Amino acid sequence: MPSPVGRWLQVKACGLVQKSSSLAKVLLFSAVDQAATRRSQPEAVHCTNTQKIEKMGRSTATKDAQALFRTLHSAYAATPTNLKIIDLYIVFAVVTAVIQVVYMAIVGSFPFNSFLSGLLSCVGTAVLAVCLRIQVNKENKEFKDLPPERAFADFVLCNVVLHLVIMNFLG
Amino acid sequence: MAALETPQSSTLRQAFGNVLSVFILLLIGILAFSIRLFSVIKYESVIHEFDPYFNYRVTQFLTKNGIYDFWNWFDDRTWYPLGRVIGGTVYPGLTLTAGTLWRILNSLNIPLSVETVCVFTAPIFSAFASWAAYLLTKEVKGVGAGLTAAALLAMVPSYISRSVAGSYDNEAVAIFALIFTFYLYIKALNTGSLFYATLNAISYFYMVCSWGGYTFIINLIPMHVLLCIVTGRYSSRLYIAYAPLVVLGTLLASLVPVVGFNAVMTSEHFASFLVFIIIHVVALVYYIKGILSPQMFKVAVTLVVSIGLIVCGAVLAVLIAMVASSPTKGWSGRSLSLLDPTYASKYIPIIASVSEHQPPTWPSYFMDINVLAFLVPAGIIACFLPLSDASSFAVLYIVTSVYFSGVMVRLMLVLAPAACIMSGIALSEAFGVFTRSIKFQLPGVTQNSPVNAGDTGNVMQNDVVKTEKSEDSLKERPSRKNKKKEKDNVERASVVPKTEKRLSVLPLEASVIAIFLLVLLGAFYVVHCVWAAAEAYSAPSIVLTSRSHDGLHVFDDFREAYGWLRHNTEVDDKVASWWDYGYQTTAMANRTVIVDNNTWNNTHIATVGTAMSSPEKAAWEIFNSLDVKYVLVVFGGLVGYPSDDINKFLWMVRIGGGVFPHIKEPDYLRDGQYRIDSQATPTMLNSLMYKLSYYRFVETDGKGFDRVRNTEIGKKYFKLTHFEEVFTTHHWMVRIYKLKPPKNRIRGKTKKAKSKASSKRSGTLKNNPWH
């Protein structure tokens, strides 16, 4: 088990940059189905020195990965639509945060308070949306007594407080 | 009679219990308020110590000029000639709270002065803190434990010492904010409600506004989250309680000018970000585990672990490089001195010199938390049966606060609420066990269903606990012994007409004796607390008293000196003294000072220290370069006041020597011993501090006997050449000197001396200590 994965690793390391951003999103927030569809055909391998030897190992490892992503995709497709909308909102917030970080890396971090408030507002709305998703999800046993309207009202209240602070801190 | 408990009577009992709890809480609040009033009764309604005078002055400014001027205030009457940005370096919570209180009261046409509001802010907020402790312990264990913890916190001497009426300092409101924040966190954790998480963030903001100790919260909560994750107690409620707090809390903390960008850049906050990332990873793992089948999950794990390790390794390397590049690894000096107790004495003598920053001695634990020191371990055990998220938090809180209190005696204050919570839990559990034992062994009564037994058991426990509490609250008025208490208890126990044969019950006599002993323990605690509040912690330290055979002497020398300064000097005159008295001088005498208790500029303090340690001429030069007109020293030799400047002199030498190497501490010690008698070194006998303290001291009793050092002084007859004495208070405790202006004309000296003395400018250039 370790060695095919190790070989698969070396191969993957060449094409890592394209995939790292999307993988980071998977790591940080809930599973995203766009990533799954995009990665179901991993052909872009450019390293030539190890190709022949690793082809067999690669195929089993990639087959595993493909199976994994297909399962993820099908499992995710079964979630209700309202949760998918919340997930889309979360992705939007995270992408906005990434764009802001990239922009800061390009033009510098002055004024720092504006950058901080912009970044934290995106992160904050993403976190609050995740909390809303947790509370609204029907499969969550702990929250079955909580009416979704109450969850949404809490979400709105918390967002109001967050954005009041952001407005103050934006400068 | 021993019938089934009807639903109506059980709700009636519940309602009765609730009303009784509210009444008890009210009594606890009154108790907390009144036990702190001893100094007002014994002395007067005056502000104590040193730091509260600064807060008082800032509050005066706020009430007079409004919040915008306060926020942008640049104070030019301290740290002359540097000034101090008050808006950006003060924790505004306390002053804003008192200012708001004053404004509300005045708008209701209750014309209290600012001083009165400032003096009584601390007792009011200690009542609130007791109620917050009730709420917190109720979330952890239940109503009985909550009431006990609240009663204990109302009286615990450690908290009283920092929140008496008149002690107008940050901790007065900060401890309330601390307990309340913890309560809201536990409530959010227990209920999973986003509403409480929002309130938690707002309460954390209030804490950040109030005290530098907010870093304790922002490190304890992530530690607890990590503990829960590691022990397998991760749940979505944990995520809801923690993640919004981090985002909102960081933002709100950056809003406070004192903290500013430190909220994201110093190491004190990194723990929260790290755990933020960890909790997201864990949440994601749980989510994917939920939607995948087990073997697919295994594949996912290997894939993610391999990729994730690379990414994490890269990020971690960058972070470590950034942190390691700063010499203190990103931590501030005060936090480092907490983590490494020997740090301050090696690198920052100012932090090491503050008496509050020394480690506590063993007796101070018994003095400050008394009986609770025994009850805390019992409480820790009680928290483990059963272990819940909230009780694991309580255990973590007590363990960390015990460690920090061992480093700095000032942090005993953070230990006090934790100890009260633990002891409340322990006491209430103990009472529960004993009263259950008694109830179920009372002879001649049968029982029907175990449900009702549990119900009445609870109410029974409440009744007994409340009896003890109301007796205790009666005790603080000077009533006599506790004979009627145990009778009351046994009566109450025998009234309940139900009993049942149950296992794991203690023998009846042992339980009765145990309850009696516990009540006696509580009585000792109450007596000690009242004594500590009345005798030990109610001294305003600006007014001193002593009892002798001919009655009570009151030493009001400090206010006498500040009053003299206020009325007999120009408004723009600068006064130099050691930094202890800076705040009091600016607040009461309204004069500009050179250094004050904020101690933010070590070089400036070292300059004053060097001046105090140098001979007269050099000291005159230094003070003249700072435009100083008056020098103030505190001298306790005539009356035996031990905290005077001669006792603090070695710290002046050390701090001055840290910046100006020509001041060497061994020059002032004879054979390693610090003396001021005839065996003292000439450097010591010629220093400004010696001369200003003992000038004309021999005229008091003919021999110059110093009552603090218990010797006769070394140099008795000397004249001052560059200073003149302008005021000495009644008991010689404060002595004020004026700098003599330089002579206009030197007679009979050579050209070299004339050019040296004729212009101050060239004189200061020559002997300028800054080169």
**pLDDT (average), residues B209-214:** 91
pLDDT in the model for residue A141: 82
Mutate to test the interface with A, among B291, B304, B310 (most CBs of A within 10 A): B291
pLDDT for residue B385 is more than 60: yes
Closest Cβ–Cβ partner in A5, A72, A162 for B302? A5
The residue among B338, B229, B329 whose CA lies nearest residue B275 is: B229
pLDDT in the model for residue B446: 45
Mutate to test the interface with B, among A16, A79, A119, A127 (most CBs of B within 10 A): A127
What average pLDDT does chain B have?
A: 83
Chain A environment of B302 (Cβ under 8 Å): 1, 5
- Segments of B324-420 assigned E as strands: none
**pLDDT (average), residues B562-590:** 92
What is the enclosing helix (H) or strand (E) of B220?
Answer: helix B214-230
The residue among B9, B129, B749, B43 whose CA lies nearest residue B413 is: B129
Q: What percent of chain B has pLDDT over 90?
A: 47
What is the per-residue pLDDT across B313-364, written as a single tens digit (0 to 9) for each?
Answer: 887 787 777 767 665 556 666 667 677 767 666 666 666 666 677 788 888 8
Chain B environment of A71 (Cβ under 8 Å): 292-293, 296
Backbone angles phi, psi at A48, to 5 degrees: -105, -25
Under the banding of pLDDT at 50, 70 and 90, the label for residue B186 is very high
What is the enclosing helix (H) or strand (E) of B198?
Answer: helix B194-210
**Least-confidence region, from B49-63, B467-481, B537-551, B737-751:** B467-481
CB pairs under 8 A between A and B: 127
Cβ-proximal residues to A106 (8 Å cutoff; 6+ apart), any chain: none
What is the per-residue pLDDT across B692-751, written as a single tens digit (0 to 9) for each?
Answer: 999 999 888 888 888 888 888 888 888 888 999 999 999 999 999 999 988 777 776 665
pLDDT in the model for residue B300: 72
Q: What percent of chain B has pLDDT over 70?
A: 84
The residue among B689, B710, B695, B704 whose CA lies nearest residue B645 is: B689
**Residue where the block lists tokens 């934290």:** A120
pLDDT in the model for residue B712: 87
Helix/strand/coil for B67 = helix
CB spacing of A154 vs B194 below 8 angstroms: yes
Cβ-proximal residues to B18 (8 Å cutoff; 6+ apart), any chain: none
**pLDDT (average), residues B468-493:** 40
Chain A environment of B264 (Cβ under 8 Å): 116
pLDDT for residue B422 is more than 90: yes
Between B394 and B752, name the one with better pLDDT.
Answer: B394
Chain A environment of B304 (Cβ under 8 Å): 26-27
CA angle B559, B565, B568 (to 5 degrees): 130
CB B758 within 8 A of CB B742: no
Cβ-proximal residues to B277 (8 Å cutoff; 6+ apart), any chain: none
**pLDDT (average), residues B549-558:** 86
**pLDDT (average), residues B418-430:** 94
pLDDT in the model for residue B36: 93
- Which ipTM score applies to this complex? 0.78
Closest Cβ–Cβ partner in A71, A134, A161 for B240? A134
Instruction: Collect the ranges in chain A with pLDDT lower than 50.
Output: 1-2, 10, 13-47
pLDDT for residue B450 is more than 50: no
pLDDT for residue B379 is more than 70: yes
Under the banding of pLDDT at 50, 70 and 90, the label for residue B460 is very low
Chain B environment of A169 (Cβ under 8 Å): 251, 254-255
pLDDT in the model for residue B109: 94
What is the enclosing helix (H) or strand (E) of B210?
Answer: helix B194-210
- Is the CA virtual torsion B469, B473, B476, B479 positive or negative? negative
Q: Which of A13-27, B104-118, B430-444, B675-689 has the highest mean pLDDT?
A: B104-118
What is the per-residue pLDDT across B72-106, written as a single tens digit (0 to 9) for each?
Answer: 999 988 898 898 998 888 999 999 999 999 999 99
CB B190 within 8 A of CB B140: no
Between A65 and B636, name the one with better pLDDT.
Answer: B636
What is the per-residue pLDDT across B484-512, written as a single tens digit (0 to 9) for each?
Answer: 333 344 434 443 444 444 556 788 888 89
pTM of the entire structure?
0.81
pLDDT for residue B769 is more than 70: no
Q: Which of A18-22, B146-150, B258-262, B656-660 has the highest mean pLDDT?
A: B146-150
d(CA B623, CA B741) in angstroms, rounded, equals 12
d(CA B608, CA B419) in angstroms, rounded, equals 42
Burial of B750 (0-12, 13-18, 19+ CB in 10 A): exposed
What average pLDDT does chain A have?
A: 75
Closest Cβ–Cβ partner in B261, B284, B296 for A68? B296
CA of A8: how far to CAs of A5, A38, A83, A125, B423, in Å?
5, 19, 34, 37, 58
Mutate to test the interface with B, among A154, A155, A157, A160 (most CBs of B within 10 A): A154
pLDDT in the model for residue B359: 83
pLDDT in the model for residue A152: 92
CA angle B262, B267, B270 (to 5 degrees): 95
Cβ-proximal residues to A22 (8 Å cutoff; 6+ apart), any chain: A32, A35, A38, A39
**Residue where the block lists tokens 């309130």:** B199
- Segments of A13-152 assigned E as strands: none
CB spacing of A124 vs B237 below 8 angstroms: no
The residue among B262, B165, B197, B40 whose CA lies nearest residue A128 is: B197
